Amino acid sequence: MRRWYAALAGVTLLAAACGSEAGGGGGTPTIRMGWGIPAEEIKYVMQADPKLAPNLGTCYKIEWHRFAGTAPQVQGLAADTLDGATVGGLSVANGIEKGADIVITGGFIEERSGNFSTAYMAPDAVKTLADLAGKTVSTAGIGGSTDYIQDHYIKEKAGLSPDKDYKKVEVPFGQQVEGIQAGQFMMGTYPQPFYTQLSAKDGYHTLFRITEVIDPFVQLLQGFRRDFAEQNPAAVKCFMDDFATVAKYVADPANRAAVIAASSKATKMPADLLERFLLTKDDYHRPSGGAVSVDALQKQWDFFRERGAFSQQLKVQDHLVDVSLTDKTSG
């Protein structure tokens, strides 16, 4: 059952705040919002066609800041250089444990059986994970979800540890196709659209996928600094109203061409490449209306804590606020 939490100060709060002051500020608040690549079509559409977010410009303004991954966005929230950001299922937990007071308000994508799951790919010469001994592998971001899963799975299946048995280099997703072709590393991490891009080349194959480690896997979430959400409740609610509206727009097959165009503009990926998978079964699972799958995320946090990714027993429910979109039936 998907539901909105009750508005922080009642239904009248939104009407009073939109077009005037919010959170006690001196006018329409500006949200310093982080975003990244890939799979953030909600934000790509908002940037490409702001009128699809009806509250934007009246109830809140947006100052967009692009990042190479979710971990630096968590750091931005912790350092008060961002108000909102795209955060990863693990990177946000790590940030919270280290003292960042972050609340989770929505979801972008999940990895589930039946849909696409991020692939760890290698040249055909690398037959098994054991062949990575003495080699270099890439990671999109130290401390991120895909990074931790990579280290965990290689250790579990091949007994190899990073830095000891193989070298690890940090390479943004957008450069991993080029990097593996240039021989800079022997295994990389390939979410969409980079999986489709590399799969079109001869000589590469998938060694494993995220869902072989944990299924379902909540990959990308929308987060805010708690103090910003508490000081600007109407603006955050307005943004999350727009987030849900645009999520439904993205999911409507009638809008697929427009979504592909927005994604191509943001990611600089050719539209014909995105056409091959975006919003099909070869794409990620996108939760209805941009909701957070609370039970699935809790199982994920428990999984990582049990394996030493962080030590605190974190509860997802403690990091939701009254404007969070939630779904407790997906787990």
HSE, side-chain direction, 13 A CA sphere, residue 158 = 20
CB 251 within 8 A of CB 290: no
Distance, in Å, from the CA atom of 171 to the CA atom of 190, rounded to the nearest integer, reads 11
Domains in the chain: boundaries: 2-113+216-327, 119-212
DSSP per residue, 57-112: TTTBEEEEEE-SSSHHHHHHHHTTS-SEEEEETTHHHHHHHTT--EEEEEEEEEE-
Phi first, then psi: give them for residue 309, nearest 5 degrees: -70, -30
Question: What average pLDDT does the chain have?
Answer: 90
**Cα–chain-centroid distance for residue 124?**
29
- As given in the structure block, the two tokens for residue 220 are 């990308």
The reported pLDDT for the residue numbered 19 is 37
Would you say residue 37 has pLDDT above 80?
Answer: yes
119-212 has which CATH code? Answer: 3.40.190.10
Q: What is the 3-state secondary structure (H, E, C) of 110-141?
A: EECCCCCCCEEEEECCCCCHHHHCCCEEEECC
CB 259 within 8 A of CB 173: no
Calculate what percentage of the chain has a pLDDT beyond 70.
Answer: 91
DSSP state of 22: -
State the pLDDT confidence band at 59, using cuts at 50, 70 and 90. very high
The reported pLDDT for the residue numbered 26 is 55
- As given in the structure block, the two tokens for residue 275 are 């056409």
Q: Give residue for tokens 């969409």.
A: 192
The reported pLDDT for the residue numbered 10 is 32
To the nearest 10°, report the CA torsion of 34, 13, 18, 231: -40
Q: Give residue for tokens 């003292």.
A: 99
- In sign, the C-alpha dihedral spanning 90, 93, 97, 98 is positive
Which secondary-structure segment (H or E) carries 188?
A: strand 188-190
Other CB atoms closer than 10 Å to residue 213's CB: what's the count? 19
> CATH says 2-113+216-327 is which class?
alpha beta
Alpha helices in the chain (DSSP H): 12-17, 41-48, 71-78, 91-97, 145-158, 176-181, 194-199, 226-231, 233-251, 256-267, 271-275, 294-306
Q: Once rounded to an integer, what is the mean pLDDT over residues 3-17?
A: 34
Other CB atoms closer than 10 Å to residue 321's CB: what's the count? 18
Would you say residue 36 has pLDDT above 50?
Answer: yes
Segment 280-296, tens digit of pLDDT: 999 999 999 999 999 99
Q: Once rounded to an integer, what is the mean pLDDT over residues 98-105?
A: 96
**Out of 7-16, 113-122, 142-151, which region has the weakest mean confidence (pLDDT)?**
7-16
Would you say residue 132 has pLDDT above 80?
Answer: yes
The reported pLDDT for the residue numbered 144 is 76
